[in-house]
């Protein structure tokens, strides 16, 4: 009986090593990250300073202070392809007691205490709030370049662009090929592969590739999505 037990343990350990050795290792295709930058000069002139965490700390008499943002933050430089190139900041609203009405925010994140995302833009000599996707489209459409399409999709959808991806030996992969974000123009607009990780709820927490189509008139539509990998160590993780 004891000999059988040791054989069983040995078989399990050997099987684990064999599984690790034969685990799927996808092909990784890297593309260069666009060299973009968002202009914040108007916010600095308006009494806001950017701290090391990317938050804009604005003086109480600043014209930005009355726009209803819980926090104002520096956007990703990947939003720098938007045209016109208005100075732009991310307006986050977070409250346990109240929330914006439906259609009065661009997207939300979070679990029990959601964060609602809008934008503050400086145009025509003043700061104004862009509350929803319709107002964003009125400000920045039409979409006329690949860089603008990338910036536009990232601004209105809670998705990420990934560059410089590498194999992580601790991850479990579900596909044979993973590509960095790139923009492909077609007759309907611009097709972009972006990424989304399932953050909230109980595990697993896989990362999916999400293909979106950005039309020239400023509509963003999800075309497909597929799970590409996960961290098995997060399989039993619960996030509120």
Examine the pLDDT at 1 and tell me if it is beyond 70: no
Section 151-158 average pLDDT? 98
CA–CA distance, 99 with 90 (Å, rounded to integer): 17
Q: Return the pLDDT at 113.
A: 83
Kindly state the average pLDDT of the residues 187-210.
Answer: 96
Instruction: Count other C-beta atoms under 10 Å from residue 133's C-beta.
Output: 18
Q: Do 26 and 175 contact (CB within 8 A), yes or no? A: yes
- What pLDDT does residue 94 have? 87
What value, to the nearest 5°, has the Cα angle with vertex 88 and ends 86 and 90?
160
pLDDT band at residue 68 under the 50/70/90 scheme:
confident
For all residues of the chain together, what is the average pLDDT?
Answer: 90
pLDDT digits (tens, 9 = 90+) for 220-231: 999 999 999 999
> Which residues sit opposite 27 in a β-bridge?
177
**pTM, to two decimals:** 0.88
Peptide bond into 144 cis (omega under 30): no
Reply yes or no on whether the pLDDT at 13 is more than 90. no
Q: What local confidence, expressed as pLDDT, does residue 15 receive?
A: 44
Query: Directed axis angle between helix 146-156 and helix 133-140, to 10°?
Result: 160
Its sign, for the CA torsion 126, 56, 85, 162, is negative
């Amino acid at each position: 009986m004891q000999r059988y037990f040791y054989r069983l343990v040995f078989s399990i350990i050997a099987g684990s090593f064999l599984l690790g050795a034969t685990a799927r290792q996808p092909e990784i295709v890297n593309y260069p990250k666009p060299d973009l930058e968002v202009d914040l000069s108007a916010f600095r002139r308006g009494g806001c300073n950017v701290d090391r965490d990317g938050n804009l700390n604005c003086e109480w008499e600043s014209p930005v202070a009355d726009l209803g943002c819980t926090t104002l933050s520096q956007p990703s430089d990947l939003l720098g392809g938007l045209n016109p190139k208005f100075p732009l900041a991310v307006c986050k609203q977070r409250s346990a007691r109240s929330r914006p009405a439906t259609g009065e925010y661009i997207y939300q994140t979070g679990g029990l205490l959601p964060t609602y995302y809008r934008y503050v833009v400086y145009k025509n000599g003043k700061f104004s709030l862009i509350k929803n996707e319709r107002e964003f489209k009125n400000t920045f459409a039409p979409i006329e370049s690949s860089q603008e399409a990338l910036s536009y999709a990232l601004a209105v959808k809670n998705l990420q662009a990934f560059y410089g991806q590498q194999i992580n030996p601790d991850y479990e992969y579900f596909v044979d090929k993973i590509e960095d974000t790139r923009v492909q123009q077609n007759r309907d607009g611009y097709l972009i592969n972006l990424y989304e990780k399932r953050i909230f709820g109980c595990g697993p927490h896989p990362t999916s590739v999400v293909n979106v189509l950005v039309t020239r008139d400023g509509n963003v539509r999800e075309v497909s999505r597929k799970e590409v990998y996960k961290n098995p160590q997060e399989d039993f993780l619960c996030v509120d």
